DNA sequence: CAGTGAGCGAGCTTCCGCTTGACTT
């Protein structure tokens, strides 16, 4: 008996889905895209080499794309075609987003399916979700495919129109595109911000205080009823921006020290304010990269490759996602773990729900331990060593996921003020504060490692304090940090530029224009010239930080149009005439 | 006669996004 064929994108999914569908179905994967525009002139089919072709890939009439099966994808396509020929039905179960729809369409074409394939979608791999999808097949959404084509062609257009001009000026190893351009601009503008930055001097004063039985250090907070200025009270040009701050001079500083050293003080105000700590949000690609960078010291590339291993072992859900949504199953598993390992006060009455931002395509759920019962990190210790990258990253994913479903931490922040009277500067106020957590909530599972807690002395108002020593420190405001690969990726995501599957490769594609390590991206002069002397005067539109978001709006219109093909052609015509104007402006300058 | 240089044409590269695993350093 011939069996129906189900095609997914990722080989790892094949095993799980086979288990659900049983032996009645054959499940295979396309391993990503299987057709694309020709990569180079050599791969353009001979039949087209006589015609006029734009950007080595597109026929000028109606912007019809020439698609080819790249050499390294031919094997998988051949295999799938043989299976499809025998199958009574082909189910295309590619991801439920724009690229997934495109892969489905390309499969239909490349496999030369005679019978209309069944398009099915699920964004979590569970028995009900998969079975429900099989029972409710749809057809390929042409609107989505056309919006994909518009995106694909526009990217080729921008890259291949502008890059050669840029290369004429900058030599090999430099190129631009919808994503690369703004990414390089971010790095360049950060550097310029640093160069323009004017450092400002301010002072910090601290005093060692003593009561009958305890010694502690307090910081100078205010003089003459005004808070003393700190780094936040200067702008980037060194201007003093807060009228009600005391900008103390070195002379003031020395006088205050003298007063402190000779004076006696007493506690004036003790304030207790409640404080709550919110649990972390579930993880998506960018926040996983940030957490792994901050807590484990992993660079994004390393994080992704370790996560890939965990995914292929079936330990976590898909690691390239822009969604922080947890499925019902995940929430149940987290709540079960919490109720079995913590008190009932650690479990909120209702699950904590987290929403996605509006750029998200949300084809997958958040990154979390897989399954309906989470594997505890310690259960992995037979498989991985405690200091292995896999164990550390899995623990992080486990902890953040469970913590996201726990209750808030409740604490009290206590602040103590110590006052000295003085004719010139008085009242001089020293302060000390710290938080004690009354109820740990999620913090009983994970603690913010960067947080330092301070033991507070037990004082009451009116206590006499001896100041036994005081000192001052000259401080300077610091320019904003350069981007690291992690912070650049976060910024790109915020701007809607790039996708989870490409963040790491974006950084790698622009390495030729910056120097130093991954942790501090410093532009080469070539990059600065590219942005200021080439892109800004002639091609400003293509480094606009909003460009990708505006493109997405246009793609949505194509998707919703009654005639997506016509809408696509119109969009590309407009885009082409715009870029031709920019090119003309550059050539005639 | 050898060496120089102008002019011409052929051929190459470049984009973004989806997947691994083979490859090098």
Residues 136-165 of A with CB under 7 A from strand B: 151-152, 155-156, 158-160, 163-164
Q: Which residue has the tokens 């070195």?
A: A250
How would residue A77 be classed by pLDDT, with cut points 50, 70 and 90? very high
Model confidence band, residue A442 (pLDDT cutoffs 50, 70, 90): very high
Q: At how many degrees (to 10) do helices A485-494 and A300-312 cross?
A: 80
How many Cα atoms sit within 13 Å of A224 on the Cβ side?
12
Kindly tell me if the per-residue pLDDT of A201 is higher than 70.
yes
Residue A258, classified by CB atoms within 10 Å of its CB into exposed (0-12), middle (13-18) or buried (19+), is exposed
Which chain A residues 460-499 have CB under 7 A to strand B? Answer: 498-499
pLDDT at A266: 87
Backbone φ and ψ for A464, nearest 5 degrees, come out as -85, 140
Which pLDDT value is given to residue A448? 62
As a whole number, mean pLDDT of residues A445-458 equals 71
Which range, A81-85, A260-264, A509-513, has the best average confidence (pLDDT)? A81-85
pLDDT band at A246 (very low <50, low <70, confident <90, very high): confident
What's the rounded Cα separation, in Å, for the pair A464 and A419? Answer: 10
A460: pLDDT confidence band, cut at 50, 70 and 90? confident
B19 closest protein residue (CA to C1'):
A32
Nucleotides of B under 7 A from a protein CB: 11-21
- Which of A91, A148, A202, A318 is an active site residue? A318
Mean pLDDT calculated for residue range A562-586: 97
pLDDT tens, position by position, A378-411:
999 999 999 999 999 999 999 999 999 999 999 9
Which of A536, A510, A533, A532 has the alpha carbon at shortest distance from A522? A510
For residue A99, CA distances in Å to A20, A66, A146, A569 come to 25, 17, 11, 19
pLDDT at residue A451, as a whole number = 65
**CB A96 under 7 Å to nucleic chain B:** no
- Report residue A263's pLDDT band, with 50, 70 and 90 as the boundaries: confident
pLDDT band at A454 (very low <50, low <70, confident <90, very high): low
pLDDT class of A333 with cuts at 50, 70, 90? very high
Total residue length of chain A: 589
CA dist A358 and A559 (Å) reads 16
Q: How far is the CA of A210 from the C1' of B25 (A)?
A: 59
Q: Quickly state the pLDDT bin for A171 (edges 50, 70, 90).
A: confident
| Res A450 pLDDT > 80 | no
The Cα–Cα gap between A523 and A503 comes to 19
Over A293-326, what HEC string results? HHHHCCCHHHHHHHHHHHHHCCCECCCCCCCCCC
Based on the number of CB atoms within 10 Å of its own CB, is A518 exposed (0-12), middle (13-18) or buried (19 or more)? middle
If you average pLDDT over residues A481-510, what whole number do you get?
96
Output the distance from A531 CA to B20 C1' rounded to whole Å.
35
Measure the CA–CA gap between A129 and A127, rounded to whole angstroms.
Answer: 6
Looking at per-residue pLDDT, the higher value among A515 and A126 belongs to A126
Structure tokens at A208: 């060692």
Cβ A32 to strand B below 7 Å:
yes
Q: Does residue A83 reach within 7 angstroms of strand B, measured from its CB?
A: no
User: pLDDT per residue over A87-96, tens digit each?
Assistant: 999 999 999 9
Provide the CA A539 to C1' B10 distance, Å, integer.
30
Judge whether residue A40 contacts strand B, using its CB and a 7 Å cut-off: yes
Which value, in Å, is the radius of gyration of the alpha carbons in chain A?
A: 30
Cα atoms found within 13 Å of the Cα of residue A349, Cβ hemisphere only: 0
**Where does residue A461 rank: exposed (0-12), middle (13-18), buried (19+ CB within 10 A)?**
exposed
Distance CA A117, CA A88 (A): 10
Report the share of chain A in percent with pLDDT over 70. Answer: 98
Give yes or no: A318 in active site: yes
Q: A167 CA, B3 C1': separation in Å?
A: 33
Residue A83 in this model has a pLDDT that exceeds 60? yes
Residues 172-191 of A with CB under 7 A from strand B: 175-181
Q: Are A504 and A306 in contact (CB under 8 A)?
A: no
Q: What is the pLDDT of residue A211?
A: 83
- What's the pLDDT band for A449 if we cut at 50, 70, 90? low
pLDDT tens readout for residues A520-552: 999 999 999 999 999 999 999 999 999 999 999
pLDDT at residue A483 tops 90: yes
- Span A1-49, pLDDT tens digits: 889 999 999 999 999 999 999 999 999 999 999 999 999 888 999 888 7
Please, which pLDDT band fits residue A262 given cuts at 50, 70 and 90?
confident
pLDDT of residue A178: 98
Å between CA of A171 and C1' of B1: 39
pLDDT score of A461: 86
Tell me what the mean pLDDT of segment A555-582 comes to. 97
C-alpha pair distances (Å), A353 with each of A281, A282, A326, A401: 9, 10, 8, 12
Question: What pLDDT score was predicted for residue A452?
Answer: 61
Nearest to A205 by CA among A428, A22, A55: A428
Q: Which protein residue has its CA closest to C1' of B21?
A: A31
Q: What is the mean pLDDT of residues A324-328?
A: 96
A200 CB inside 7 Å of strand B: no
Give me the pLDDT at residue A359, please. 84
Question: Is pLDDT of A267 > 70?
Answer: yes
pLDDT of residue A53: 92
> Which of A221-235, A253-267, A501-515, A551-565 holds the top average pLDDT?
A551-565
Confidence band of A421 (pLDDT split at 50, 70, 90): confident
Whole-angstrom Cα distance, residue A471 to residue A258? 10
| A485-497 average pLDDT score | 97
Q: Which nucleotide is nearest to A38 (CA to C1')?
A: B15
- Of A402, A347, A359, which Cα lies nearest the Cα of A494? A359
């Amino acid at each position: 008996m011939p069996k129906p064929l189900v095609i997914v994108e990722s080989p790892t999914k094949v095993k799980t889905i086979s288990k659900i569908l049983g032996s009645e179905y054959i499940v295979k994967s396309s391993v990503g895209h299987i057709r694309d525009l020709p990569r180079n002139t050599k791969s353009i089919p001979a039949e087209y080499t006589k015609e006029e072709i734009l950007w080595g890939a597109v026929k000028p009439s109606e912007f019809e794309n020439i698609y080819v099966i790249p050499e390294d994808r031919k094997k998988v396509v051949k295999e799938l075609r043989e299976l499809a020929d025998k199958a009574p039905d082909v189910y295309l179960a590619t991801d439920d987003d724009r690229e997934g729809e495109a892969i489905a369409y390309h499969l239909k074409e490349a496999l030369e399916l005679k019978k209309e394939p069944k398009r099915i979608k699920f964004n979590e791999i569970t028995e009900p979700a998969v079975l429900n999808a099989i029972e409710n097949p749809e057809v390929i959404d042409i609107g989505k495919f056309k919006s994909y084509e518009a995106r694909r062609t526009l990217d080729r257009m921008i890259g291949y129109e502008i890059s050669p001009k840029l290369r004429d000026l900058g030599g090999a190893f430099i190129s631009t595109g919808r994503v690369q351009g703004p990414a390089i601009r971010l790095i360049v503008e950060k550097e310029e911000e640093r160069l323009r930055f004017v450092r400002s001097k301010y002072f910090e004063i601290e005093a060692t205080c003593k009561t009958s039985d305890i010694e502690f250090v307090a910081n100078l907070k205010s003089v003459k009823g005004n808070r003393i200025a700190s780094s936040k009270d200067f702008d980037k040009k060194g201007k003093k921006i807060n009228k009600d701050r005391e900008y103390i001079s070195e002379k003031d500083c020395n006088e205050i020290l003298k007063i402190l050293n000779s004076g006696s003080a007493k506690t004036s105000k003790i304030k207790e304010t409640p404080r709550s700590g919110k649990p972390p949000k579930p993880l998506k690609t960018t926040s996983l990269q940030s957490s792994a960078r901050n807590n484990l010291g992993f660079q994004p590339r390393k994080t992704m490759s370790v996560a890939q291993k965990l995914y292929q072992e079936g330990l976590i859900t898909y690691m390239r996602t822009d969604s922080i949504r947890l499925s019902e199953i995940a929430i149940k598993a987290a709540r079960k773990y919490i109720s079995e390992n913590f008190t009932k006060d650690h479990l909120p009455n209702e699950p904590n729900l987290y929403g996605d931002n509006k750029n998200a395509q949300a084809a997958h759920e958040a990154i979390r331990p897989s399954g309906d019962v989470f594997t505890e990190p310690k259960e992995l210790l037979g498989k991985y060593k405690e200091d292995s990258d896999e164990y550390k990253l899995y623990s992080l994913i486990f902890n953040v996921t469970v913590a996201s479903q726990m209750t808030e931490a409740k604490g009290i922040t206590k602040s103590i003020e110590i006052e000295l009277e003085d004719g010139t500067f008085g009242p001089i106020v020293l302060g000390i504060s710290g938080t004690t957590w009354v109820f740990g909530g999620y913090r009983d599972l994970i603690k913010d490692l960067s947080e330092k807690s301070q033991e507070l002395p037990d004082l009451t108002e009116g206590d006499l304090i001896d100041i036994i020593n005081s000192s001052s420190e000259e401080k300077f405001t610091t320019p904003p940090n350069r981007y690291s690969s992690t912070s650049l990726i976060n910024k790109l995501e915020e701007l809607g530029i790039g996708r989870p599957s490409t963040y790491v490769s974006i950084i790698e594609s622009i390495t030729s224009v910056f120097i130093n390590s991954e942790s501090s991206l410093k532009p080469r002069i070539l990059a600065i010239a590219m942005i200021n002397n080439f892109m800004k005067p002639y091609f400003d539109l293509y480094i606009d930080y909003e460009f990708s978001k505006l493109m997405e709006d246009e793609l949505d219109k194509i998707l919703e149009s009654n005639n997506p093909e016509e809408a696509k052609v119109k969009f590309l015509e407009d885009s082409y005439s715009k870029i031709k104007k920019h090119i003309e402006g550059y050539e005639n300058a």
